[in-house]
Structure 1
Amino acid sequence: MTVRSAWHLPNGQTREDTRLAVGLGMASAAPLLTRAGCVFGGLRLTGTAATGMQAKLSPGQVWVPGTSTGAQGGYPVTVDADTLLTFADGHASLPRVDAVIVRVYDTDYDGSGKYEAALEVLQGTAASSPTAPAVPKSAELLYEVAIPAGASAAKGITWASAITDRRRYTAALGGIVPAAGGAPHNGAYAGQYRDADGRLERWDGAQWTKLIPDTVLRHTADWGGTTSTSYLEILPIDTTLPLFATFTAPPSRWVSLTFGAFTAADGNATAYISFRLRTQSGTEVLTPSDDRAAILDGAGRASISTCFPVGNLTPGAVYTVTAAYRSSVAGTRVHFDSRFIRVDPVA
C-alpha cells in the first residue's frame, strides 16, 4: 500500500497499519523505523546467588522494531514480572559469551509459525577469545554474560563481573534519550539530541557532538621572563615552552578567554600578557594586542588576569590560543609565573 492511515477507515485496518501509526509517536531511526530501546529503569539482570547458573530479570518495557521488512512497524513489549533465566553449563576448557535478548516472532514476516514475544538466552561459541552471538532480526540485545570454562550449578558464574549491560534506551518523538548500553544509535536527523553522561549531544548528520564543548584549562608553574617590546610566545629568559590551549568552537560561535599570571616588572616597565589565536591549519585569526591584554603597570608583583570574548568562530572548527608576553621598555625585564589560559564555550 502506498498511503496508509489508522483509526480512519470504517474497516480493514491491519495490525501493520496500527504498528506504523503507533511508531509515529516514537523517536525515529529511519523514515519507517522507530528507535529500538528500553524504557529507562527496568529490565535489570542480577544473579540469583553469588554464583550459580540462573539470573533474574526485573519487570520493564522495551520497543522492538520489526526489521524483516521496511514497513513491518515496531512492537511494544512488556515484561510484567521477575523472570528467571537459566544459562547452559560452560565448556570444559574454554569460555564463551551468551546474549540475553527480547525477540519478537511474527510468522507473517519470519515464517516461524507463531505470534509472540520472548526472552531468550542466545548461547555463544566457546573460544579462547569468545565473542557474543549475533542478534537476530526483530530482536533487541539486553545483556551479554561471560560464561567461564567449567561453569555449572556447582561452580557457577561470578555475576558481579560477568554481566555487561547492553540495554539501549528510547523515548517519545523529540525526546532526549540517554546514550548507554549496546550497539550505538546513530542519529536519525540533524538536530537530534541525546544525553551522554550528563552532557547534551547533538547529531550533526554524521556524528554526535557535544552541544557545548568542554571548558579547556591549561596552566604551567614554569617561570619565564622577557625584555622584548614585541609580543613573544616563548619567554627567552629561562627558555620556557609556549603556553597554549586547543579548543572546538561551539554552535554559538563565541568563547570566553580568560588568561593571566603572577607577574613582576623591573624598573618602570609595564608587563603585558595577551594571546594569539590561530585556526587548526595555522592561519592567524587574532594577533596579540595591548587592547586584549592583562597589564601590570609599574614595579612590584601582582596576580593579573583578564577575560576577553571572541566571536565569529566557525562552529565545530578547532582553534589554538597561545599566550604572548612583552615589556613596555626595551631591555627591562618583566617576569611571568603560574601562567594559565582558560577557554569557556558560550551557549
Structure 2
Amino acid sequence: MPVRSAWLINRTETETGQSRADTRLAPVGTMAPAGALTTASGVLPGSVAGEDLMSALYVFGESAGMNVTVAPGRAVIQGQGPAGAYPVVLTDHTTLTLDDGNATNPRIDLVVLRVRDAQFDGGDRTEATLEIVKGEASATPTPPQTPPASLPLARITVPAGASVGTGGIVWDDAVYDLRVPTVGIGGILAESWSRDVPGGYPGQYRDTSSALQRWDGTRWATYPREVGGIAPQGALAAGEYPGQYRDEAGALQRWDGTVWRPAVPSTAWAYNNDGGSCASTSWVEAVDGTNGPTISASFTVPVTGAVLVTVGFMGHTGVDGQWCRMGVNIRKDGALVVPADEVRSATVGSKAMTSVAMTFRVTGLKRGAEYTAVSAYVSSAASNTGWFDNRYIRVDPLV
C-alpha cells in the first residue's frame, strides 16, 4: 500500500519505517496546534491550479460495486498520548473494498487514514495505513467510533443487501466527506465544509470562503466584527459589544449595549395639516376638534448630546391682544425631560392668520438614546381660543 509516514522507525531490511523519500514527501514541520503538545489532525489543502479547497485524500466510487478509491494526498495525524504528530502521505490512488451489506439493515462504514506505532500503542505494527472501519448494521445506523491516531476521510452508507451481484453502492448518495484541513502554525486555516471545528488558540484565523474569521477562545468571530469594522448586512441580530457598527439596509447602526441605534442620527419630522383649537392656560399635548391632535417626532441623540428643535404652525388667536403658543415636551421612555416653555415656542398674537416658527437648542441629552418631541399648546386666557393648523416638529442632530 503506498502510504508512507515520517517520524516512525528507520526502515531496515526487517522492519518497515521511514525512508529518505518518506521524509521528503511527508509534510514535516510545525502544524496548527491543538494543545501544548498536540497538533490538529487534518489534510493539507490545495489542488491543481488552486481551483478547489482540497483534492488530497478524496474518497469516491467510480463504478457499480463495493470498491472505493482514495486520491493521493498529504495529511498530519495526531498520535496517541505523548507520541506527537505524524506527517503522512498517500502517493497513489488506492482502492479499498467494502464488505457486502447486511441482509436486513444498512450500516455506516468509515474510511480512515491511520498510524500504528508499536512503541506507543502497544501493538505489533508500526506503519501508516488506509483502512475501512466497519459499522454495525441497524435500522437507524450510526458511524463507528474513529480509532486512535486516525484521520477520518469519509463515511459511507452501505445499503442492506448491497453487493457486487446486486449492483453495489450508488456512490453519489453514499459518500459523505469528512476531511478537515490543517495548515502550518500562524497560517490561515481553510474552511471545513461549514463544520464546527474549534480553533487551537486565540488569534488563529480561518477563511470561510466568504469571510475571514478569528478564534477568540470560544468561537469563530467574523474578522470585521472583532476588530471594530462594520458587520455586513444580516450578520448580526444583536451586537456583541457597545460601540459595534453594522450595515442595515444601507443605514449605519451602532449597538448601544441593548439595541441598535442609527450611527449618524437623521432629522426627525412630524406634521399634521388638520387644524384644531386650544384654550388651556397650561401646557397640553393636544388640540381639540381635529384628527391626530398630538404630533410627536422620535429622534436619536448624536454623540454631542445636543439637537436643534424647530416647531411651527399657521394659526391665530380668538381675541385681539391675546396670544397662543406651540412648543414641545421632550420625553425619554415617557418621562418628561425638557418641558415646553414660552422661550422655546412659536407664538401668534393676532386674530389674523399667521405662519410662525421657532428653533431652539437642547443640550445635555444622553448620547445614543432615543427621545420623543411631543407637541404642546397653551393660550393666554381661557376666553382666548387659539387656532393651530399645519403643525410640525423638526429635530436636527448637532454633530
TM bin, normalised by shorter chain, reads: 0.5 to 0.7
Q: CA deviation at 1:190?
A: 1.6
Answer yes or no: is 1:74 the counterpart of 2:80. Answer: no
Kept in 2: contact 1:23–1:34 (CA 8 A) = no
Structure 1 distance, partners of 2:117, 2:59, is 26
Instruction: Please tell me the root mean square deviation across aligned C-alpha atoms, in Å.
Output: 4.2
Structure 1 distance, partners of 2:197, 2:242, is 22
Kept in 2: contact 1:27–1:35 (CA 8 A) = yes
* Equivalent position to 2:105, from 94, 106, 111: 94
- SS of match in other structure, 1:161: helix
1:126-158 deviations in Å (ceiling 9; x for gaps) = 011111111111111110111111111133111
Q: CA deviation at 1:267?
A: 3.7
Report percent identity of matched pairs. Answer: 30
Structure 1 distance, partners of 2:271, 2:157, is 65
Give the stretch that moved more between structures: 110-119 or 249-258: 249-258
- SS of match in other structure, 1:189: coil
Answer yes or no: is 1:29 the counterpart of 2:16. Answer: no
Q: CA deviation at 1:122?
A: 0.6
Number of the residue aligned with 1:206: 218
Answer yes or no: is 1:155 the counterpart of 2:167. Answer: yes
* Equivalent position to 2:239, from 229, 240, 248: 248
Number of the residue aligned with 1:266: 272
Kept in 1: contact 2:268–2:297 (CA 8 A) = no
Structure 2 distance, partners of 1:27, 1:139, is 17
Answer yes or no: is 1:215 the counterpart of 2:215. Answer: no
Structure 2 distance, partners of 1:132, 1:216, is 38
Residue type matched to 1:44 in 2? Y
Structure 2 distance, partners of 1:116, 1:43, is 18
Q: CA deviation at 1:179?
A: 3.5
Q: CA deviation at 1:325?
A: 6.5
TM-score, normalised to structure 2, is 0.54
* Equivalent position to 1:192, from 161, 184, 204: 204
Number of the residue aligned with 1:46: 60
Structure 2 distance, partners of 1:216, 1:270, is 33
Q: CA deviation at 1:247?
A: 2.4
Structure 1 portions without partners, runs of 5+ = 1-14, 219-244, 277-285, 300-320, 336-347
TM-score, normalised to structure 1, is 0.61
Structure 2 distance, partners of 1:193, 1:31, is 18
Number of the residue aligned with 1:125: 136
Q: CA deviation at 1:187?
A: 2.0
Residue type matched to 1:54 in 2? N
Question: 1:120/1:36 Cα in 2 relative to 1: closer, same or farther (>3 Å)?
Answer: same
Kept in 2: contact 1:270–1:298 (CA 8 A) = no
- The structure richer in strand per residue is 1
Q: CA deviation at 1:120?
A: 0.6
Structure 2 portions without partners, runs of 5+ = 1-17, 46-53, 226-230, 247-251, 254-261, 275-293, 315-367, 378-387, 394-399
Number of the residue aligned with 2:155: 144
Task: Choose 1 or 2 for highest CA Rg.
Answer: 2
1:40-65 deviations in Å (ceiling 9; x for gaps) = 1211122112x321122111111111
Structure with bigger RCO (C-alpha 8 Å, 6+ apart): 1
Structure 2 distance, partners of 1:28, 1:93, is 44
Structure 2 distance, partners of 1:33, 1:292, is 62
Query: Size of the alignment, in residue pairs?
Result: 256
Q: CA deviation at 1:185?
A: 3.4
Residue type matched to 1:56 in 2? T
